[in-house]
Amino acid sequence: MAKQRKIPMRKDIVLGEMKPKKELVRIVKNKEGEVSIDPTGKKPGRGAYISLDVAVAKKAKDERTFDKTFGIKVPDEFYDELVAFVDHQAARRELFGND
Instruction: Read off the amino acid at residue 39.
Output: P
The residues spanned by each domain of the chain are: 9-96
Mean pLDDT of 29-53: 96
Cβ(17)–Cβ(11) below 8 Å: yes
CB 44 within 8 A of CB 30: yes
The third-level CATH classification (topology) of the domain covering 9-96 is Hypothetical Cytosolic Protein; Chain: A; (3.30.1230)
Global pTM exceeds 0.95: no
DSSP bridge pairs for 11: 18
- For range 14-36, the mean pLDDT: 96
Please determine, for residue 94, whether its predicted confidence score (pLDDT) is greater than 90. no
Question: What is the pLDDT, as a whole number, of residue 4?
Answer: 78
Supply the pLDDT for residue 65.
97
How far lies 75's CA from each of 7, 8, 58, 78, in Å?
Answer: 33, 30, 14, 6
- The CA dihedral of 90, 75, 34, 8, to the nearest 10 degrees, is -30
86/66 Cα distance (integer angstroms): 15
- The per-residue pLDDT for 96 is 83
- Is 60 exceeded by the pLDDT of residue 9? yes
